[in-house]
Amino acid sequence: MSKTILITGASRGIGREIADYLAKLNHRVIITARSAKSLKNLEQSYPDHIQSVPADLSKTEDISNLIDYLDQNNLQLHGLINNAGVLINKPFVEQTNRDWQLQIDVNLMAPVRLIRATIPYLAEGSHIVNIGSMGGYQGSSKFPGLSAYSVTKGALSVLTECVATELSGYKISCNCLCLGAVYTEMLKEAFLLFYKPKTAYDMGTYIGEFVLTSHTFYNGKILPVALSDPE
């Protein structure tokens, strides 16, 4: 059965690969990110399966526009992947309040707002997947410079557990995947050198399959997706 999946942060990297994977399986994919041009390029590759809705999810009005799109097209969602994220690599003593607030807004509050707004559009048996990080996984090694990022991803993990409990009556599942190192543009921008990361294609394929099937096995789980700590 064809499903309709909404993916945030889909203009590049893992989000783009997830959309590509799902579209190739003939699912309907709604993609959103701030970059309208990148989204449109992906949409044109799969005109029958991908629809793009540019949005800055830190802005309440942009989330309203996204919900209006679902309304106008009479769409029901079977999956929501909260993949959009911001990473600022800066020592704790140098991180400003603005640095913290931006990462809180994008990495935590955007999923809060979007989950809340899409509940009426999520079908019974649907699956919310929050994309976390090994940096936010309790007991994992922590990197210098990623305090705010790791804290927001840790909070996203706890949000997942809470949402899974609160939405169980709606028969909606919610899980969090804590990713290890993945070779994406965001990683390259944050670190000049890294080691043995998975590719965005590898991770996108895994997450695409996870959103389709794994809610029948997991709910409210914080799952590390890494070969070792922190990879």
Task: State residue 37's pLDDT score.
Answer: 95
Q: How far apart are CA 26 and CA 160, in angstroms?
A: 28
Mean pLDDT, range 134-143, rounded to an integer: 90
Residues 6+ apart with CB under 8 A from 188: none
Count of beta carbons in the 10 Å neighbourhood of residue 187 = 16
Looking at per-residue pLDDT, the higher value among 202 and 210 belongs to: 210
* Helical segments of 73-223, H only: 97-104, 110-118, 147-166, 185-190, 200-213
Name the pLDDT band for 197 (thresholds 50, 70, 90).
Answer: low
- Ordered structural domains, the chain, with CATH: 4-225 (3.40.50.720)
Exposed e or buried b per residue across 205-222, where buried means at least 16 C-beta atoms within 10 angstroms of its C-beta: bbbbebbbebbeebbbbb
- Lowest pLDDT segment from 16-20, 70-74, 137-141: 137-141
Given a contact cutoff of 8 angstroms between Cβ atoms, the answer to whether 156 and 111 are in contact is yes
Q: Is a pLDDT exceeding 80 seen at residue 192?
A: no
Given a contact cutoff of 8 angstroms between Cβ atoms, the answer to whether 14 and 83 are in contact is yes
Mean pLDDT, range 168-197, rounded to an integer: 70
Task: State residue 151's pLDDT score.
Answer: 98
Residue at 163: amino acid letter: V
Task: State residue 177's pLDDT score.
Answer: 98
Q: How far apart are CA 223 and CA 169, in angstroms?
A: 23
Give percent of the chain above pLDDT 90.
84
Q: How far apart are CA 146 and CA 87, in angstroms?
A: 8
- Lowest pLDDT segment from 36-45, 145-154, 174-183: 174-183
Place of tokens 């707004």: 117
Task: State residue 198's pLDDT score.
Answer: 73
Q: How far apart are CA 129 and CA 150, in angstroms?
A: 18
Task: State residue 185's pLDDT score.
Answer: 52
SS3 57: coil
Mean pLDDT, range 144-156, rounded to an integer: 97
Q: How far apart are CA 168 and CA 174, in angstroms?
A: 9
Residues 6+ apart with CB under 8 A from 119: 167, 170, 172
Structure tokens at 214: 């794994």
> pTM score, two decimals?
0.92
Name the pLDDT band for 226 (thresholds 50, 70, 90).
Answer: confident
Task: State residue 190's pLDDT score.
Answer: 47
Task: State residue 229's pLDDT score.
Answer: 59
Given a contact cutoff of 8 angstroms between Cβ atoms, the answer to whether 165 and 140 are in contact is no
Mean pLDDT, range 84-113, rounded to an integer: 97
Looking at per-residue pLDDT, the higher value among 6 and 228 belongs to: 6
Task: State residue 160's pLDDT score.
Answer: 98
Q: How far apart are CA 219 and CA 176, in angstroms?
A: 9
